[in-house]
Amino acid sequence: MRTVLMAVGIGLGVALLLVASSVPTARHQRDERIHARIDTNLDGRVITPSRGTVLLSDIDTVFRGREIRGRMLEPEGPAAPLPPGLTRFPRPGEMVVSPALRKLLAAPGNGLLRERLDHPVTGEVTDRGLVDPGEYVFYLGGEHMAVGVKGVDRLDHFGKVYPQKPLDPELTLLSIVGMVVLLAPVAVFIAAAVRFGGEHRDRRLAALRLVGADRRTTARIAAGETLVSALIGVALGAVLFMIGRRFIELMDIQGLSVFTEDLTPQPALAALTVVGVVVLALAVTRLAMNGVAVEPLGVVRRSGGATRRLGWRIAVPVLGLLLLKASVGSGSDIRDTTSVVLVVVGMLALLVGVTAVLPWILEQLTGALGGFGPVSWQLAVRRLQLNSEAATRSVNGIVVAVAGAIALQTLFTGIAHAQNGSSGAARSSSAPSTQAAVASLDDGRGYTERYASVFSSTPGVQQAVGYAELSVSTSDGDVPQTVRIAECGQLRLLASLSTCADGDAFVVSPHGGAAADRTVWKPGSAMRMDTNGPRWTVPRITAAVEARSSNPQGVFPEKMLFVTPRAAGASAMAHAVSTIDITYATSGADVQDRLRTTAARLDPSFAVDFPAQATGATALDGIKRDLLAGVTAVLLLIAASMLLGALEQLRDRKRVLAVLVTFGTPRRTLSSSILWQTAVPVAMGLLVAGVVGTALGNALLGLIGRTPVYDWSGMLAIAGIGAAASVAVTVLTLPTLWRSSHPANLRHE
């Protein structure tokens, strides 16, 4: 039974380590697919239409927070390049979707998305064209597309290889911390698994010591038993990895999924995993033999050992903090090999030091709390007093995981706060009842009033103002200035106009004025439309007016020129972007998705932006998603560790439990005792993990010169997961407890 428990525990740890050793391969394959489908003319070459070119437009969208990648395609010849993942071009009006998007479209309650992407589906995008199995992608067949209109570009090939760019110091540190936080609990878990059934083995080896075996003999016996279990565990871990690999595409952890072929361990890392697990198992066994070799009678009698010393236990985490302080001289030094090594060693010393301090804390706590309280409490405290190390062994993994997760959360929050440049108070302020959106379409048609009318009829929309926006600059390439073209009715919604007729032009100042604005509009002066477009002459200025403050988009930092269509001219209308300023009520259901659906029904190339919605950094969001997926997997592993440890302790104590029940102890009392035995170490461990995790997060932020910002709700959520694990483990062990307390277990040989 001990061999089975050790093998299962080690096997779970090895399986997760093999997943970790597959990360470089998965990242490389992912990058290859991303580079292969790049569809932007990054070289700036002039591509002429030919048999081997294709017209393409970006029609990305978002549905209830899910990003959906969309492209409109029209081949210009039989040799036009196909995007990766397609076997043929969709016909005009037809759509090819990814498997995940097909499921999303078919899911109940997603009628808004089906209305938005209301095109016949004629095929699926293959794995070559997807970043991961859960990505939402579609390709729509286009017709009569023209370069420069609606964001259309011409390509003669897909794909481009980017040179490797180093990450920012903040993201480099975040990645290093993430790897340590994810792998350290696994090592602690494997070390705990090696000690499953340790009390039985210690008593057996102590008996061998009493009949004449020397230390080397008992050490060889223990090492041999551990080696067999470790090798079986490695084999079991490989089997579990291969079985899980077959179903990996069905899993989605924190929005992260991978293809089966991506989950391939690198040979060097896989070999290092096997060797490292075996060495760790033997090292833990050798350390555990010290008590057996020195005090065999004490083990046999199950008497308490010597009082634990705090000095060396507290020295380990203190050494970790000192190494972190000395690791980085400046933020840019984080990429140096020496700095990386010091950061990793410092973090490991701090996190592993928690496992050394926790037994001492629990010993002091149980010594102060014993001797009073209900029977279940006294049974639990006495058990913890007899062997607090066994009690904390299974808890160490969750303590290290929670401490690392809190440090990671603190580091991530500090970096995100610095990048967003917003204060905690600003983020916690109440959301406004109305917000603004901007819909734009570069069609050059000037149907702005019709577009505004359609958006106005969308449920939740309070006001929609349509105009054509044009960017102009002086001939010497000065800062571009903005011209808005619309009928008088629309202009009156944006500015305070006393009179207005077709042919008028107005210089509009920001509401309340802008002292720093030096924009000058001179009638008759020559301007250039867009960057290198045709010339445009500033018309006669009718009046200078002020923008309305009631419209969220009416507030702007510079003087703009508002002109009517006749004053602007046909050329300006052809180069302007149709823009709709929308004010909507935030209390409405799915208002943003309704606006995107309205835009897509008008034209698939219509883009809708929400300025008040935080966008975040792409690299930072990607690292956060990967780390959250890893933390989730590690916490599941630690929960399995606690369950195995609890089952092992019940198996070891089944004769004692049977005696207690025979003498009249209610099973409810024993169940409560088991809960206390799990809850007390977990509660103390979570408290220590919170302190250590916060200190580690502050130290890491100090390395890059960031001010600590605490996400208390996130920390409480992480601690809550750890507390829930203890309750779940207790509930799952109740059937074993009832079986172990049966009178038949009184038989003993």
pLDDT, averaged in runs of 10, over the chain (749 residues):
80 86 88 90 83 94 92 94 94 95 94 94 94 94 90 90 65 74 78 72 79 83 89 93 89 77 90 91 81 58 60 84 73 65 84 83 81 84 76 74 80 71 42 82 85 92 91 76 91 88 90 62 86 85 83 64 91 90 85 93 91 59 63 70 71 79 84 82 83 84 77 74 73 79 72
Exposure letters 2-28 (e unless 16+ CB within 10 A, then b): beebbbbbbbbbbbbbbbbbbbebbee
Residue whose token pair is 């395609």:
73
Q: Are 414 and 709 in contact (CB under 8 A)?
A: yes
Burial of 181 (0-12, 13-18, 19+ CB in 10 A): buried
**411 Cβ contact partners less than 8 Å away, ≥ 6 residues apart:** 173, 174, 177, 697, 700, 701
How far apart CA 704 and CA 333 sit, in angstroms, is 9
Nearest to 158 by CA among 195, 129, 188, 119: 129
What pLDDT does 419 receive? Answer: 60
Exposure letters 689-712 (e unless 16+ CB within 10 A, then b): bbebbbbbbbbbbebbebebbbbe
How far apart CA 434 and CA 461 sit, in angstroms, is 9
| CA distances from residue 671 to 48, 376, 665, 732 in whole angstroms, order as listed | 78, 8, 11, 11
The amino acid at 42: L
Nearest to 18 by CA among 264, 224, 221, 182: 264
Mark residue 632 as left, alpha or beta (left: phi above 0; alpha: psi -120 to 50; beta: remaining): alpha
How far apart CA 295 and CA 580 sit, in angstroms, is 83
Tokens of 646: 């609890």
Q: What is the CA radius of gyration of the chain?
A: 33
Strands (E) across 475-521 are located at: 481-485, 505-509
How far apart CA 193 and CA 236 sit, in angstroms, is 14
Tokens of 297: 């009678």
**525 Cβ contact partners less than 8 Å away, ≥ 6 residues apart:** 474, 537, 538
Exposure letters 199-223 (e unless 16+ CB within 10 A, then b): bebbebbbeebeeebeeeebbebbb
DSSP 576: S
Q: Are 227 and 281 in contact (CB under 8 A)?
A: yes
**Does pTM top 0.85 for this prediction?**
no
Q: Are 743 and 661 in contact (CB under 8 A)?
A: yes
Q: Are 341 and 335 in contact (CB under 8 A)?
A: no
Q: Are 451 and 467 in contact (CB under 8 A)?
A: no
How far apart CA 668 and CA 685 sit, in angstroms, is 26
How far apart CA 182 and CA 635 sit, in angstroms, is 9
How far apart CA 117 and CA 103 sit, in angstroms, is 13
How far apart CA 48 and CA 440 sit, in angstroms, is 27
Q: Are 524 and 536 in contact (CB under 8 A)?
A: no
What are the residues facing 253 on neighbouring strands? 256
- Sign of the Cα torsion 265, 270, 276, 281 reads positive
How many residues comprise the chain?
749
How far apart CA 713 and CA 247 sit, in angstroms, is 33
Tokens of 414: 């500090």
Torsion of CA 257, 263, 266, 271, to 10 degrees: 110
What pLDDT does 91 receive? Answer: 95
Torsion of CA 561, 562, 564, 567, to 10 degrees: -10
Using DSSP's 3-state secondary structure scheme, residue 555 falls into: coil
Tokens of 641: 């560790």
Nearest to 680 by CA among 464, 281, 378, 328: 378
CB atoms within 10 A of CB 142: 25
User: In Å, how far from its chain's centre is CA 260?
Assistant: 21
User: In Å, how far from its chain's centre is CA 225?
Assistant: 41
What pLDDT does 423 receive? Answer: 40
The amino acid at 359: P
**672 Cβ contact partners less than 8 Å away, ≥ 6 residues apart:** 374, 376, 377, 380
What is the H or E stretch that residue 543 is in?
Answer: strand 543-546
Long-range CB pairs of 159-163 (<8 Å, 24+ gap) are 159/35, 159/36, 159/37, 159/38, 159/84, 160/35, 160/38, 160/40, 160/42, 161/35, 162/35
What pLDDT does 420 receive? Answer: 59
**212 Cβ contact partners less than 8 Å away, ≥ 6 residues apart:** none
Phi, psi of 387 (to 5 degrees): -150, 75
Tokens of 567: 């004053």
Q: Are 700 and 173 in contact (CB under 8 A)?
A: yes
How far apart CA 488 and CA 217 sit, in angstroms, is 98
